[in-house]
Chains A and B, each alone.
Chain A
């Protein structure tokens, strides 16, 4: 029982990282219709920015908050001056631009901060607590709790604020939103900014675990994309649940299914995707859009 609970909570913690990144990608996709492959790279850059603030003597929590703020601005600026030129055009071109951006950001981070593994302090102590008779690390729990809190906050913003309403309007139909007098350009920037800020949180949570390197988020990005496909692009909550599902199932399959074991566990989420997409092409929680003729 103890091992089981540990595996589930560790799985949730890993899944939370994928979820944060996936949420950011969904946020951008809902606002602009693009898939931002550079989301992971931007998260790494945010973590480096936090690292730089730490170096200037800021306490950890303030450094992370500062990085979140800077990342918000960075996301908005990237949208305004780079992505804006490709919106409404051929989406495939825009995809290539984001892939290029990923490569560029990784290179810049390596050039400024070297490719060495940098130590990034954790928000959580190296300690454990007792949950249902299992020894569970504070870091795993903390990571999960932080992501849940952010999710709730996002939901509140989207459902309870004017800004959220406007963002949803732009995502739903940019043209109508624009005719209704909404500042669509600003809102797109805010969408990208929020996604980058979310990425910054994910980066700060991952960095202590993997040590800070320019390629730190590459694997997480693949899992995040898997979670998006599994959960459905149109459902933020679905994406988070899918990410958790992937993290937990992967862990459990490795330990309890001898045929899979630790060496094949990476295949678990992808087998899951095949199965789900065959049954429900729109993903577990995605909306099936019916077009009336």
Chain B
């Protein structure tokens, strides 16, 4: 075998493999299978006189598996405890246990669509709690076609809370704009002048944050945006962006980033560059144990984030009754003995409580009736919610939770921030 043949074959194989990867990435199978008959009189699939079955498609493998595992653990813990106590008494007088089927989508939209079709085949009553904007978007239309509720999902995408566009959907966590606006409002109240550098993910996630932030600082003449860059969710390094932004001399850095390892390396890189601004981080990438400690965030004058959930790891909540119940449920029913490193564990526990509210007000065992009950919850303070935040599903264009509290990192957890220092 001579070398040139060997070499050209190798090149050919690499080229072919690359081409194949592109083709696979580029095409996506669409399947409009199924024909929802929407018959409202009989009971819907997935609900019997003994049980109701919920489906979760979420990343249980891949880069987002940490938060993804949490989205299953919280709900499983909540209903595990409820089932152990006998189940939920529904509005129609029947007591049912809540069963949960989980499906791994590895944060891959095509996989989540396939999972949804599997759920339809498996007779799931409603889809809930799954994490991810692209993955939830992938089967949104299919869920509308099939008339399967896709509710209290973990995405800040406003599309899911638009009742006109998404009649069978409802988002749970605050939309990106809610969070961005909370930061902007806090900054605008500052008595000093600030220069802001922005790095955002080049998609609806990043754009939503930046949009909310800019709206909130409009007219505040003490705030100037001096640098604004984007990165791709697939990037493995943002060092070049950070180097460029460090050159702007900004004293506030708004990093609208959803990728855990990138946030950690950003915290480290800015320190290496000797650039020490105050940070604003999104709620889903500001975990003290998983992100801020490895990133040595105490080096900065302040790291701010928003939250609507009590932090179990924080000493302030060590004695809190909600937190203690939550942790013991998590260990006992969800096989999750560790202290949760991601807020998604708490959020999905709240999802469980919110679903229970809807179940208790369902007068018929149908999906339509469930949706009506779910969209009629106001001022409900789910367990683990911070004072001043609540579930309200009655406002069009807003997710179940739209209230957030801005908090500042204190070296172990977060404390509420009334003003920007």
Contacts and interface: CB of A to CB of B under 8 A. Distances in A.
A265 B231 CA distance: 10
A234 B7 contact: yes
B274 interface: yes
Given A3-B247, A126-B272, A262 B231 contact: yes
Interface stretch (B112-120, B260-268, B379-387): B260-268
B13 interface: yes
A6 B65 contact: no
Contact-residue size bin, chain B (C-beta under 8 Å from the other chain): 35 or more
A293 B262 CA distance: 55
A128 B389 CA distance: 42
Contacts of A225: 14, 18
Contact-residue size bin, chain A (C-beta under 8 Å from the other chain): 35 or more
Contact of A114 (B6, B65, B235, B269): B65
B261 A262 contact: no
Contacts of A79: none
Interface in B288-347: 290, 294, 296, 341
Contacts of B102: none
B1 interface: yes
Contact of A7 (B17, B229, B234, B243): B243
A116 interface: yes
A39 interface: no
Contacts of B260: 117, 211
A116 B59 CA distance: 11
B232 to A, nearest CB: 6
Nearest to A35: B10
B231 to A, nearest CB: 6
Contact of B14 (A91, A115, A229, A262): A229
Query: Secondary structure at chain B's binding surface: helix, strand, loop or mixed?
Result: helix
A185 to B, nearest CB: 18
A119 B18 CA distance: 31
Interface in B48-106: 60-63, 65-66, 69
A233 B62 CA distance: 31
A3 B243 contact: yes
A35 B14 contact: yes
A213 B341 CA distance: 16
Interface in B233-281: 234-241, 243-244, 247, 260-261, 264-265, 268-269, 271-274
25 contacts: A6-B243, A7-B240, A14-B239, A35-B10, A110-B61, A110-B65, A116-B65, A116-B69, A126-B296, A137-B272, A137-B273, A209-B261, A210-B236, A211-B261, A213-B63, A225-B18, A233-B10, A251-B240, A255-B240, A262-B229, A262-B235, A262-B240, A262-B241, A266-B234, A286-B7
